[in-house]
């Protein structure tokens, strides 16, 4: 029997609040009846939705709070006003107290990171946390990090990202020794800024048992799935993520426009409908929803704020897998066997 995992949820987070959060949790629970939930939110908003989800109610403990972090709150404002009382903070604090194995929120990203870092602190030897995302590729999926937690990176931070990303790939992708690449402007070792080249040297010479360093990769390798883990700093990673999301929407828009242009186009669409449905499923961002906050002394998952119930359920599934397969222990074990980059 699978180990039961307890997941704390910020029921008030995201653009749609309890309606999506609870429905998504119920969908995830249907796939894994061993899951348990602690729900934080305003009873006036949560109870009417929860009453219509009897299985989720049975598997959950609800804890009322009047305070919710708004999507437009600045991180400093949210931390000042919502610390210790908001649904977001309480969901994170449940992980710190050991009441929950992992926390999930679709709320304000900046506020969630600020609260998570303040409440959980970073792991030993990790200076800055990162956000890791699952990335659909022609081969399946890859882990990409950092996609926006921190801007800029020295060699040590990039090495830390490689270790944490490899641990996540082992957990989510089931790869014993994930291949890791550093995102760069070329694959040649002489190219790139010094921090990237130094991080590459460390990873190449370290021969760590938990990862297989591939070398430098370029932007087009993201979609190819050249490696299991792509490492970059948060500025470039966030741009890459938003570019990929925009490109997917652009292609979908082109297809919709062309398929309805003429009668023959419509007939062609009907004949190829199954293939288009498969393409849509592979490009559906909801299936890879959920950014993992890595480097904290506890697991926090950020769901996209505008997702629907199906998308939120994917984030809950991801949270459950991270906890069940002991992501934290994998990261700690790999950090203990990592040499430090050379001091400039």
- pLDDT (0 to 100) of residue 263: 73
Gyration radius from the chain CA atoms: 21
Task: Tell me what pLDDT residue 281 has.
Answer: 62
Tell me what pLDDT residue 340 has. Answer: 56
| Judgement on whether residues 153 and 49 belong to the same structural domain of the protein | no
Q: Are 191 and 216 in contact (CB under 8 A)?
A: yes
- For range 289-294, the mean pLDDT: 88
Q: What is the pLDDT of residue 39?
A: 97
Instruction: Give the CATH number for residue 72.
Output: 3.40.718.10
Q: 110-131: per-residue pLDDT in tens?
A: 999 999 999 999 988 888 899 9
329 pLDDT higher than 70: yes
14-32 confidence digits (pLDDT tens):
999 999 999 999 999 999 9
CA end-to-end span of the chain: 51
278 and 133, same structural domain? yes
What percentage of the chain has pLDDT greater than the value 90? 54
Q: What is the pLDDT of residue 188?
A: 86
* Listed residue (49, 53, 12, 61) closest to 29, CA to CA: 53
**Residues 113 and 159 reside in one and the same domain:** no
In a shared domain, residues 220 and 115: no
Residue 337 in domain:
no
- Asked, for residue 343, whether it belongs to a domain, the answer is no
Contacts of 302 (CB under 8 A, 6+ apart): 105, 106, 109, 112, 113, 131, 290, 291, 292, 293, 315
Residues 275 and 135 in one domain: yes
Looking at the fold, whether 179 and 301 belong to one and the same domain comes out as: no
- 194 and 278, same domain (yes or no): yes
Question: Do 310 and 164 share a domain, yes or no?
Answer: no
Res. 343: pLDDT tops 90: no
Same domain, 93 and 111: yes
Is a pLDDT exceeding 90 seen at residue 105? yes
How far apart CA 174 and CA 269 sit, in angstroms, is 37
177 near 212, Cβ under 8 Å?
yes
- What number is the average pLDDT over the span 290-295? 90
User: What mean pLDDT is predicted for residues 312-317?
Assistant: 94
Average pLDDT on 140-144 reads 91
Residue 338 inside a domain? The answer is no
Q: Do 122 and 184 fall within a single domain?
A: no
Average pLDDT over all residues of the chain = 87
The domain of 236 spans 128-287
Residue 197 has pLDDT above 90, yes or no: yes
Establish if 101 belongs to a structural domain: yes
Residues 238 and 319 both lie in one domain:
no
Q: Is the pLDDT assigned to residue 64 strictly greater than 90?
A: yes
Give the tens place of pLDDT for each residue, 230-278. Answer: 999 989 888 888 888 787 777 777 777 777 677 776 776 666 667 656 6
Cβ-based neighbour number of residue 162 at 10 Å: 29
Q: Is 242 helix (H, G, I), strand (E, B) or coil?
A: helix
pLDDT at residue 84, as a whole number: 82
Q: Which pLDDT score, from 0 to 100, does residue 339 have?
A: 56
Report the domain count for the chain.
2
Q: How many CB atoms lie within 10 A of CB 27?
A: 18
Asked whether the predicted pLDDT for residue 300 surpasses 80, the reply is yes
The confidence band for 280, taking pLDDT boundaries of 50, 70 and 90, is low
118 and 174 in a single domain? The answer is no
């Amino acid at each position: 029997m699978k180990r039961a995992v307890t997941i704390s949820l910020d029921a008030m987070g995201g653009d749609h609040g309890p309606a999506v959060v609870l429905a998504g949790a119920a969908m995830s629970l249907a796939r894994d009846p061993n899951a348990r939930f602690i729900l934080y939110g305003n009873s006036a908003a949560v109870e009417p939705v929860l009453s219509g989800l009897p299985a989720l109610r049975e598997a959950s403990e609800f804890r009322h709070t009047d305070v919710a972090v708004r999507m437009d709150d600045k991180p400093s404002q949210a931390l000042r006003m919502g610390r210790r009382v908001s649904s977001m903070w309480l969901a994170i604090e449940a992980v710190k107290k050991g009441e929950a194995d992992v926390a999930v929120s679709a709320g304000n990203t900046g506020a969630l990171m600020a609260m998570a870092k303040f409440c959980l602190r970073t792991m030993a030897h990790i200076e800055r946390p990162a956000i890791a995302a699952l990335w659909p590729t022609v081969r399946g999926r890859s882990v990409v990090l950092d996609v926006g937690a921190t801007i800029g990176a020295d060699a040590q931070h990039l090495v830390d990202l490689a270790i944490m990303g490899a641990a996540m790939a082992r957990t989510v992708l089931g790869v014993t020794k994930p291949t890791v690449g550093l995102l760069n402007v070329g694959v040649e070792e002489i190219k790139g800024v010094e921090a990237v080249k130094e991080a590459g040297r460390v990873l190449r010479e370290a021969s760590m048992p938990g990862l297989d360093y591939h070398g430098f990769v370029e932007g087009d390798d993201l979609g190819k799935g050249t490696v299991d883990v792509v490492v970059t700093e948060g500025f470039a990673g966030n741009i890459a993520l938003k570019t990929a999301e925009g490109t997917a929407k652009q292609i979908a828009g082109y297809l919709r426009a062309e398929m309805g242009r003429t009668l023959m186009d419509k007939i062609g669409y009907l004949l190829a409908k199954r293939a288009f449905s498969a393409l849509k499923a592979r490009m559906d961002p909801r299936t890879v929803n959920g950014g993992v906050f890595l480097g904290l002394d506890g697991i926090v998952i950020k769901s996209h704020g505008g997702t629907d119930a199906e998308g939120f359920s994917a984030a809950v599934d991801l949270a459950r897998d991270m906890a069940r397969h002991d992501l934290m222990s994998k990261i700690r074990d790999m950090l203990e066997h990592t040499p430090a980059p050379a001091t400039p």
